[in-house]
Amino acid sequence: MLAGQREEGPCSGSLSCCSAGHSISIAGERMSIPCDKISIQSVLEKLYSAKMKSLANSLLAFSYIMLEATIAVGSDALATPELEKLIPKLHVPGQQESSEHGLTLLHVAAVTGNAPMVRQLLERRCKGEPWSVDIFGTTAFQGATLVGSVAAAKLFLETGEIDKEQINGYNNFGAAQIHMTADYGRTEMMQLLLATNAEVDLPKRKGSAYAGRTALHCAALRSQFECCEILLRHGASVRAMDAHGATVLHMAALEPICLVGNQDPNAKMTTVRLLLEAQADPSVRNDAGNTAAELLALASGHGAGELWLTLCPRGT
């Protein structure tokens, strides 16, 4: 209230949402949009809650769920807080128990890259005890690889209890550690995974989003040419196709401007040339009938430029 008057929206009430009859849907229920701030706060809180529930079924939820844990633990590798003091902050009943999202203290320590805490927790862990899995289908070891914490991942491997199933296992979204490591261009982690028998041409799980894509597909899409080099040295196939017949060159051509991935202006061209040197075939057509050059032309709106010429099959 201001000076005894109802506080209204920018329309000053003359064209208010209330008089216009505007409404929104929250969890299937239609609700009108009030003009005063006190009433609209309640509506927005319900809308936010519904949005968070929907995000819980996507990979985006990981960032939200881990935010509080990251603040509480910190990512300083030298930090060695007492575990018992952290438990109340993380809302985790005990070091072997998990939160409502399936996160144990070991998960939290791993995904925040806190190697000293990981070491403490592994020393307290009973040998042979099953590894807990969070709501994303991820173990603590897999969490460490996801964030690129090589030091923490090595501590897990030193236990001798990280089997091939964990190294090559899929999360609930059909991706394995090698795929996400390639996406983010984490070269040191890539080398560690391949040294511990990660399958270089492991496809994303059948029936999942982007099914059939290998780590080389992922690295090519994000112009992570250094990861491409590592994968190729370990025998990655440039002929592998995803569920839609796309090759690694199709992936490289899919995003003319790399919005997510390697932001080096020369990264895209470097990636394409590297794949071509490895005998990737630019004449291959995907299930939609397009070559990589044609896909680039469709994505960019024109068939010209150095990248397009590089992707064109010889003799065309």
Report pLDDT digits (tens) over 22-44: 666 666 677 665 555 566 677 77
Q: What is the reported pLDDT for 42?
A: 72
Q: What is the reported pLDDT for 189?
A: 98
Q: What is the reported pLDDT for 34?
A: 57
- Count Cβ atoms within 10 A of the Cβ of residue 34 and give its class: 0-12 exposed, 13-18 middle, 19 or more buried: middle
Full-model pTM: 0.74
Short-list 170, 248, 250, CA closest to 206: 170
H/E stretch holding 262 reads none
Any residues with CB less than 8 A from the CB of 147 and at least 6 apart, and which? 110, 111, 112, 113
Q: What is the reported pLDDT for 4?
A: 45
Q: What is the reported pLDDT for 274?
A: 98
Q: CA-CA distances (angstroms) from residue 206 to 200, 203, 240?
A: 17, 8, 14
How far the first Cα of the chain sits from its last, in Å, is 72
Any residues with CB less than 8 A from the CB of 44 and at least 6 apart, and which? none
Low-confidence ranges of the chain (pLDDT < 50): 1-18, 75-80, 91, 93-95
Can you tell me the distance from the alpha carbon of 58 to that of 169, in angstroms, rounded to the nearest whole number? 18
Give me the domains of the chain, ranges plus CATH numbers.
Answer: 59-162 (1.25.40.20), 174-316 (1.25.40.20)
Can you tell me the distance from the alpha carbon of 105 to that of 132, in angstroms, rounded to the nearest whole number? 10
H/E stretch holding 32 reads strand 29-32
Can you tell me the distance from the alpha carbon of 206 to that of 67, in angstroms, rounded to the nearest whole number? 31
Can you tell me the distance from the alpha carbon of 105 to that of 90, in angstroms, rounded to the nearest whole number? 8
